[in-house]
C-alpha cells in the first residue's frame, strides 16, 4: 500500500494536469455543441451532416463519428477522439518515467532496498497509474455531465461511467505496454522506442480505415479496441469484449514487465546488445562545436530539436492538405458563421490557414519554449547550472546564451515548417503570398521568446510551478483566441490572450503594434530575469 | 604573480549566510595563503558547502565579504572563476553526453584547457572518457569532476568533499595529484568530514561546527587533537601487559576485561607498540573517532562554538 501511495505521489502532477485537461476538453466541447449545433432537431441534423463531411477527411486521425446531432455523439467524437491520444501520451511519459527516469535518479534502487519484491514494485506502479487514470477519466465524464447540464440537458450517468472505464482501461493498457518495452531496451532509448511502438499501433489502426490491406492487422492495436465502444452517443454501444481485451493487454503487459524486471539488472536492458569492445578513451572531444556559444546549445539539444522541427512541419503540411476539404463543410454550418466572420476576410483558404494553422503553430511554439524553460529549471535543480557557473561566465551570459539557443531553435522550426506550408500549399493550389508566409513564420520566433522570457523569470522564483503555470497560460490563451468568438467572450477577455499579439500576418501583414509589444515583453522579461538571476542563490 | 603572492588566496571577513533556525554560516573569518593546502573540516550540515558556494559566488552572503586573490567573490565573480577550479560535492546529471563531451562542453566555456593534462589525469584515474555520463558509477562521476577541476591548471582549487565515492587506490592517487599541484604553485582548499583524510594532504585545517569556525590548526596540533579507540585482544592464558600499557605515553581510559583491553590512544603509536613488546596480541582493532567525538573529548559538551572559538 505504501508503494502505491508513493507511486501516486510521484505521479500527482500528471494526475492533476491530465484530469484538468480531460475535464476542460469534455466540458468545453459540450458547451460548444450547444453554441454551434443549433437548437432545433433540423438545425442539429444539418450541423451533423456538415460535420460528418469534415470527419470523413480526418479518418486518418479519428474514428468515424456516431450521432453528431446529439451532445453525446459530438463529445464522443470531438473530445474522446483526442483524449485517447492524450491518455496514450500520458501513459508513455508516466511509464517510461517510472521504469527508467526513477531508475536513473536512484528511486527504484531505494524502493527495492526496502525489501519490496520487483514484481510488487511493478504492480504498485501499475496500480498507482490505474488510480490516476480512472480519476482523470472520471473527471472527463463529470465534464460531460456538467457541460450537458449547462446546455439544459441531463446526461445519463451509466454511459458516462462506461466511457470513463473504457478510457482508463485504455490508458492502463498503453502504460503496461510501455512499461514492458522499457524493460527490454537500453535506458536512453526507452521513451523513443516505446513512443515509436505506440505511434505505430495508432497508425496501424487509423490507416486501416483507409487501406484495406492493414485491416487484417489492426487487432494488434489497443487503439482498435478503444474505438469499438462509443457509449456516449444515444445509439452507441459499450463493447464488453473489446474492453476485456484492453484489460487483458494491461494485465499481460504488466505481468511480462514484472517478469522482465525480475530478470534484468538495474540500469540495463533485458536484451543488451553489446557493441564491439573498444579500448578506453582518455582524450577530450576535439569538436569545435562545443567551443562556439549558442551552437553548442543547439548541438546539445539536436535530437529534441529535430523531433520538434519534424513534428511541427508534418502538422503544418497536414493542415494545408486538409484545408481545402474541410473549409467548405465548416462554412456551411450556420452556428459557425460568427466564428468564421471573425477571421475570414478576402480569400478563404489563406484566411483559414492564417487563423487555424498559425493559431495552432503558436500553441506548438509556446510548447517548445516551455520545454526549454523546463530544461533550464532542471539544470538549476540538478546542479548543472552550478557547474556551468563555476566557469568564468557571468550569469547574464548564461541567460543570454539560453535565450539565443531558444531563439535559434525556434527560428529553425519556423523556417522549416514555413517551407512545408509553402510547398504543400503550392501542391494544393492555395495561393499564399510568399513574403507574408515568411513574415508569419518568422513572427513565431518573438512569440516563443515571450514565453521563454516569462518562463525565465518564473523559473527563478517558482522553478517547480513554472511549467504548469506557463502551460496553463498558453492553453488558456489558445482557447480564448480560438473559441472566444464562439462563446461570445467579451473583447477585453479575448485581448488577454498572448496569441492576440501575433495578429494575422499571413492575410493582414505584420501587426506592428503587436510585434512591438511582443518584443517589449520579451526584452523586459529577460531583463527582469537577468536582475533576478544576478541576485538569487544557485544550488542552495 | 608577485601581487598574487602578496595577497591571500582566500580571505573572508565576517562571512555569514543565515538560513534561519540556526542553520547557515556565521561570521567566518578565514585566511588561506597562496600555495597552501587547507583542509576545511566539519560534520555533515556544519556549513562547509555553504562556505564554498559563497566563495564561488553561487550564493549571496547575508553579511560579510569574501575575496579570492584580492578579488571580490561576488562583484568580480567572473575574474575569480578564471583563477579557480571547482569540484562540487555532488556531480550534476549530464545524461547521455559522453565524458569527453562534458569536458569539451565545460572546457569550451572556460577556454585554456590543456588536452594533454586532461589525458594525463584521465589515464591516471583510469577514467574512460568515451563512455556516457549516465553509465558512469558514482566514483567515475567524481573522477570526471576531478578532471574538470584540474584541467586548466587553476591558481586555486576549491574541492567539496573530493574523495567521496573514490576507492582507496584512487584516493591515494588523488592525494598525490593534490601534492603535485601544490608543488606546481597552486593553492588548494578542500572540504571533508574525515580527519584522517585532511591529515594526508593538508598544511592547515579549519574546523567548522554549526556554521562557526571553531578552530584553525596546523598539522602538529591536529596530530595532538586526534586519537584512536583501540581494542586489544590477547591470547588465552598469556600475560596481559596492563601496567606497561597504562604507563605508555598517550594511552588513556584503559579498561581491562578478561583478556581484552580497550583504551584511547593520542599521538603516535610508538609508545604503545613498545609496551606490547613480547605480548601475544591475537587481535587489534582501531576505530577513528568521528569529529563530534573529538569535539566532545577535547571541548566540554555544553560549551558553545563561540566559546570554543575564543
The DSSP output letter for A285 is: P
Q: B94 to chain A: which residues are within 8 Å by CB?
A: 384
Query: What is the ipTM score, two decimals?
Result: 0.81
CB count, 10 Å around CB of A164?
Answer: 23
Give the least confident one: A234-238, A483-487, A531-535, B238-242. Answer: A483-487
pLDDT at B78 over 70: yes
A143 pLDDT more than 50: yes
For the beta sheet containing B212-218, the strands, ordered from the edge strand earlier in sequence to the opposite edge, are: B84-87, B156-160, B187-192, B37-41, B204-209, B212-218
Question: A7: which DSSP letter?
Answer: H
Residue A263, min C-alpha distance to chain B (Å): 20
A369-398 residues touching B, CB cutoff 8 A: 379, 382-384, 386-394
pLDDT for B1 equals 44
> Tell me, what's the pLDDT at A144?
95
- How far is B145 from B92, CA to CA, in rounded Å? 10
Determine how many CB atoms are found less than 10 A away from the CB of residue B247.
12
Residue B169: the pLDDT is 93
DSSP 8-state class, residue A277: P
**Residue of A262, A264, A321, A268 lying closest to A121 (CA atoms):** A262
Residue A344 confidence class, pLDDT cut points 50, 70, 90: confident
Q: Which 3 state secondary structure label does DSSP give A222?
A: helix
> What's the rounded Cα separation, in Å, for the pair A295 and A369?
17
- DSSP letter at A239 equals -
CA distance A347 to A370: 34
Whose CA is closest to B145, among A286, A387, A334, A106?
Answer: A387
A80: alpha, beta or left? (left if phi > 0; alpha if psi -120 to 50): alpha
Give which of B108, B129, B133, B147 to mutate to test A binding, by max A Cβ within 10 Å: B108
Please tell me the total number of residues recorded for chain B in this structure.
310
Instruction: Give the separation between CA A148 and CA A234, rounded to whole angstroms.
Output: 14
Contact A456, A399 (CB under 8 A): yes
Strands B23-32 and B84-87: unpaired
Per-residue pLDDT of A497-506, as tens digits, reads: 778 888 889 9
For A386, the closest of B92, B127, B130 (CB atoms) is: B92
Q: Are B216 and B253 in contact (CB under 8 A)?
A: no
Residue A474 pLDDT more than 90? no
Question: Which residues lie below 8 Å from residue A302, measured CB to CB, with a gap of 6+?
Answer: none
Contact B78, B242 (CB under 8 A): no
Interval A461-472 mean pLDDT: 77
Mean residue pLDDT of chain A comes to: 87
- Within A58-117, residue ranges assigned H as helices are 71-75, 81-96, 102-104, 107-113
Q: What is the mean pLDDT of residues B81-108?
A: 92
Structure confidence at residue B150 (pLDDT):
96
**pLDDT for residue A240 is more than 70:** yes
Query: Residue A458: how many CB atoms within 10 A of its CB?
Result: 22
CB-based contact, A265 to chain B, within 8 Å? no
Instruction: Delimit the domains of chain B by residue range.
Output: 2-222, 227-287
Residues of B in Cβ contact (< 8 Å) with A187: 134
pLDDT given for residue B306 in this prediction: 52
Q: Which helix (H) or strand (E) holds B134?
A: none
From chain A, pick out residues whose CB is under 8 angstroms from the CB of B160: none
Could you tell me the CATH superfamily of domain B2-222?
P-loop containing nucleotide triphosphate hydrolases (3.40.50.300)
* Gap between the Cα atoms of B110 and A390, Å rounded: 9
Q: Tens digit of pLDDT for each residue in A201-220?
A: 998 998 888 788 888 888 99
Q: pLDDT of B132-160, one tens digit each?
A: 898 898 899 999 999 999 999 999 999 99
Residue pointed to by grid coordinates 522550426: A413
Beta strand pairing status for B187-192 and B37-41?
parallel
Q: Are strands B71-72 and B63-68 parallel, antiparallel or unpaired?
A: antiparallel
Choose which CATH entry (3.40.140.10, 3.40.50.300, 3.30.70.100, 3.90.226.10) describes domain B227-287.
3.30.70.100
Going by their DSSP bridges, the two strands B251-257 and B260-266 should be labelled as: antiparallel
Rounded Cα distance, B33 and B78, in Å: 21
Quick one: average pLDDT of B286-299?
67
Hey, what's the cell of A43?
438545425
Say if residue A71 is exposed, middle or buried (CB neighbours under 10 Å; 0-12, 13-18, 19+): buried
Closest CA to B98 of B135, B125, B126, B124: B135
What is the end-to-end Cα distance of chain B in Å, rounded? 35
Q: Which chain A residue has the Cα nearest residue B94?
A: A384
Nearest CA in chain B to A292: B108
> How far is it, in rounded angstroms, from Cα A198 to Cα A254?
16
Say which residue the cell 476542460 belongs to: A24
Q: Say yes or no for a CB contact (<8 Å) between A283 and B129.
A: yes
Among A411, A437, A416, A415, which Cα is nearest to A426's?
A: A437
Q: What percentage of residues in chain B have a pLDDT greater than 70?
A: 91
- Assign A441 a pLDDT band (cuts: 50, 70, 90): very high
Is the pLDDT reported for residue B209 higher than 90? no
Residues 6+ apart with CB under 8 A from B63: B14, B15, B16, B18, B27
Of the candidates A339, A460, A331, A441, the one whose C-alpha atom is nearest the C-alpha of residue A402 is A460
CA distance B27 to A76: 67
The pLDDT of residue A58 is above 80: no
Which pLDDT tens digit goes with each residue over A19-46?
888 998 899 889 888 888 888 888 888 8
Q: Is B119 within 8 Å of A300 when comparing Cβ atoms?
A: no
For cell 529549471, the residue is A377
The predicted model gives A337-355 an average pLDDT of 79
Q: DSSP letter for B161, please.
A: S
CA distance A215 to chain B (A): 40
Q: Tell me if A537 and B58 make a contact (CB, 8 A cut-off).
A: yes
Nearest beta carbon to residue B105 from set A290, A393, A540: A290
User: Which chain B residues have a beta carbon less than 8 Å from that of A296?
Assistant: 105, 108
pLDDT for the residue A403: 95
Look at residue A322 in the predicted model and tell me its pLDDT: 83
C-alpha cell at B302: 555544553
| Angle separating helix axes A81-96 and A12-36, nearest 10 degrees | 170
Specify the higher pLDDT residue, A92 or A464: A92
pLDDT by residue (tens digit) across B215-229? Answer: 898 877 777 777 888
Question: What is the mean predicted confidence (pLDDT) over A121-143?
Answer: 93
Minimal C-alpha gap between B142 and chain A (Å): 13
Alpha carbon distance A420, A187 (integer Å): 34
Q: Quick one: closest CA in B to A267, which residue?
A: B135
Q: Across residues A443-449, what is the average pLDDT? A: 95
- Mean pLDDT rounded to a whole number for chain B: 87
Q: Which residues of A touch B101 (CB under 8 A)?
A: 285, 290
Residue ranges per structural domain of chain A: 1-271, 298-540
Phi, psi of A292 (to 5 degrees): -95, 115
Strand B84-87 relative to strand B156-160: parallel, antiparallel, unpaired?
parallel
Contact A538, A391 (CB under 8 A): no
Instruction: State the alpha helices, DSSP H only, in A153-219.
Output: 157-184, 190-207
Q: Which residues of chain A are within 8 Å of residue B59 when distances are taken between CB atoms?
A: 537-540
Residue A362 CA: distances (Å) to CA of A15, A69, A274, B206 = 26, 32, 43, 57
The reported pLDDT for the residue numbered A381 is: 81
Distance CA B56, CA B17 (A): 14
Give mean pLDDT, residues B195-224: 84
Q: Kindly tell me if the per-residue pLDDT of B310 is higher than 60.
A: no
- CA A372 – CA B9 distance, rounded (Å): 39
Contacts of B106 in chain A (CB under 8 A): 387-388, 391
d(CA A369, CA A363): 10
Residue by residue, DSSP assigns B254-278 as EEEETTEEEEEEES-SHHHHHHTTT
Amino acid at each position: 500500500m505504501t508503494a502505491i501511495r508513493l507511486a501516486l505521489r510521484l505521479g500527482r502532477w500528471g494526475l492533476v494536469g491530465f484530469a484538468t485537461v480531460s475535464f476542460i476538453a469534455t466540458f468545453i466541447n459540450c458547451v460548444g455543441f450547444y453554441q454551434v449545433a443549433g437548437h432545433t432537431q433540423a438545425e442539429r441534423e444539418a450541423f451533423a451532416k456538415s460535420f460528418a463531411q469534415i470527419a470523413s477527411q480526418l479518418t486518418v486521425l479519428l474514428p468515424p463519428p456516431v450521432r453528431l446531432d446529439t451532445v453525446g455523439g459530438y463529445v464522443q467524437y470531438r473530445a474522446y477522439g483526442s483524449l485517447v491520444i492524450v491518455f496514450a501520451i500520458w501513459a508513455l511519459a508516466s511509464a517510461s518515467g517510472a521504469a527508467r527516469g526513477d531508475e536513473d535518479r536512484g528511486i527504484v534502487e531505494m524502493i527495492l532496498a526496502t525489501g519490496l519484491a520487483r514484481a510488487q514494485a511493478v504492480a504498485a506502479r501499475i496500480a498507482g497509474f490505474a488510480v490516476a487514470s480512472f480519476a482523470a477519466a472520471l473527471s472527463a465524464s463529470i465534464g460531460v455531465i456538467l457541460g450537458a447540464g449547462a446546455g439544459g440537458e441531463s446526461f445519463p450517468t451509466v454511459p458516462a461511467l462506461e466511457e470513463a472505464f473504457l478510457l482508463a482501461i485504455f490508458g492502463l493498457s498503453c502504460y503496461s505496454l510501455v512499461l514492458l518495452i522499457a524493460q527490454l531496451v537500453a535506458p536512453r532509448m526507452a521513451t523513443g522506442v516505446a513512443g515509436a511502438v505506440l505511434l505505430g499501433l495508432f497508425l496501424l489502426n487509423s490507416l486501416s480505415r483507409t487501406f484495406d490491406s492493414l485491416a487484417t492487422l489492426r487487432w494488434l492495436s489497443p487503439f482498435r479496441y478503444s474505438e469499438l465502444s462509443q457509449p456516449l452517443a444515444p445509439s452507441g454501444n459499450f463493447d464488453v469484449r473489446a474492453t476485456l481485451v484492453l484489460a487483458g493487454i494491461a494485465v499481460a503487459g504488466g505481468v511480462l514487465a514484472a517478469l522482465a524486471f525480475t530478470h534484468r539488472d538495474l540500469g540495463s536492458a533485458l536484451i543488451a546488445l553489446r557493441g564491439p569492445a573498444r579500448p578506453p578513451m582518455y582524450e577530450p572531444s576535439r569538436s569545435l562545436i562545443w567551443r562556439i556559444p549558442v551552437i553548442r546549445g543547439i548541438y546539445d539539444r539536436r535530437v529534441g530539436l529535430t523531433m520538434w522541427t519534424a513534428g511541427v512541419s508534418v502538422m503544418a503540411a497536414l493542415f494545408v492538405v486538409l484545408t481545402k476539404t474541410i473549409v467548405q463543410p465548416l462554412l456551411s454550418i450556420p452556428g459557425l458563421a460568427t466564428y468564421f466572420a471573425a477571421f475570414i476576410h478576402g480569400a478563404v483558404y489563406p484566411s483559414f490557414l492564417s487563423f487555424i494553422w498559425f493559431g495552432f503553430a503558436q500553441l506548438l511554439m509556446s510548447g517548445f519554449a516551455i520545454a526549454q524553460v523546463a530544461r533550464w529549471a532542471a539544470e538549476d535543480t540538478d546542479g548543472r547550472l552550478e557547474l556551468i557557473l563555476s566557469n568564468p561566465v557571468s550569469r547574464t551570459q548564461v541567460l543570454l546564451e539560453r535565450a539565443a539557443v531558444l531563439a535559434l531553435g525556434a527560428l529553425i522550426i519556423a523556417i522549416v515548417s514555413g517551407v512545408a506550408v509553402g510547398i504543400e500549399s503550392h501542391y494544393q493550389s492555395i495561393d499564399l503570398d510568399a513574403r507574408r508566409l515568411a513574415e508569419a513564420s518568422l513572427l513565431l520566433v518573438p512569440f516563443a521568446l515571450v514565453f521563454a522570457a516569462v518562463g525565465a523569470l518564473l523559473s527563478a522564483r517558482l522553478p517547480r510551478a513554472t511549467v504548469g503555470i506557463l502551460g496553463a497560460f498558453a492553453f488558456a490563451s489558445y482557447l480564448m483566441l480560438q473559441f472566444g468568438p464562439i462563446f461570445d467572450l467579451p473583447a477585453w477577455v479575448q485581448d488577454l490572450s498572448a496569441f492576440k499579439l501575433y495578429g494575422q500576418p499571413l492575410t493582414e501583414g505584420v501587426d506592428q503594434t503587436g510585434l512591438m509589444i511582443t518584443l517589449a515583453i520579451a526584452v523586459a522579461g529577460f531583463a527582469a530575469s537577468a536582475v533576478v538571476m544576478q541576485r538569487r542563490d544557485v544550488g542552495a | 604573480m608577485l601581487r598574487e603572492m602578496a595577497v591571500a588566496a582566500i580571505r573572508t571577513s565576517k562571512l555569514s549566510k543565515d538560513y534561519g533556525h540556526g542553520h547557515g554560516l556565521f561570521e567566518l573569518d578565514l585566511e588561506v595563503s597562496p600555495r597552501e593546502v587547507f583542509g576545511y573540516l566539519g560534520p555533515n550540515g556544519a556549513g562547509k558547502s555553504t562556505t564554498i558556494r559563497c566563495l564561488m559566488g553561487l550564493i549571496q552572503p547575508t553579511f560579510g565579504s569574501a575575496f579570492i586573490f584580492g578579488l571580490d567573490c561576488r562583484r568580480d565573480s567572473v575574474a575569480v572563476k578564471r583563477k579557480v577550479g571547482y569540484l562540487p560535492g555532488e556531480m550534476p546529471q549530464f545524461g547521455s553526453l559522453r565524458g569527453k563531451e562534458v569536458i569539451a562542453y565545460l572546457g569550451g566555456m572556460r577556454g585554456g584547457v590543456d588536452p594533454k593534462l586532461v589525458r594525463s589525469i584521465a589515464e591516471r584515474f583510469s577514467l574512460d572518457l568515451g563512455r556516457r555520463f549516465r553509465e558512469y558509477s558514482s566514483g567515475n562521476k567524481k573522477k570526471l569532476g576531478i578532471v574538470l577541476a584540474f584541467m586548466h591548471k587553476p591558481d586555486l582549487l576549491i574541492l567539496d568533499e573530493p574523495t567521496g565515492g573514490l576507492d582507496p587506490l584512487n584516493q591515494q592517487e588523488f592525494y598525490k595529484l593534490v601534492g603535485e599541484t601544490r608543488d606546481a604553485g597552486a593553492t588548494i582548499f578542500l572540504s571533508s568530514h574525515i580527519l584522517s583524510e585532511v591529515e594526508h594532504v593538508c598544511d592547515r585545517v579549519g574546523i567548522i561546527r554549526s556554521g562557526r569556525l571553531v578552530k584553525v590548526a596546523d598539522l602538529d596540533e591536529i596530530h595532538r587533537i586526534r586519537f584512536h579507540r583501540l581494542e586489544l585482544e590477547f591470547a588465552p592464558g598469556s600475560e596481559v601487559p596492563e601496567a606497561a600499557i597504562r604507563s605508555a605515553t598517550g594511552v588513556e581510559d584503559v579498561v581491562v576485561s578478561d583478556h581484552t583491553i580497550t583504551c584511547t590512544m593520542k599521538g603516535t603509536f610508538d609508545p604503545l607498540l613498545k609496551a606490547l613488546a613480547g605480548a601475544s596480541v591475537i587481535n587489534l582493532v582501531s576505530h577513528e573517532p568521528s569529529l563530534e567525538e573529538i569535539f566532545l573529548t577535547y571541548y566540554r559538551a555544553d560549551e558553545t562554538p563561540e566559546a570554543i572559538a575564543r
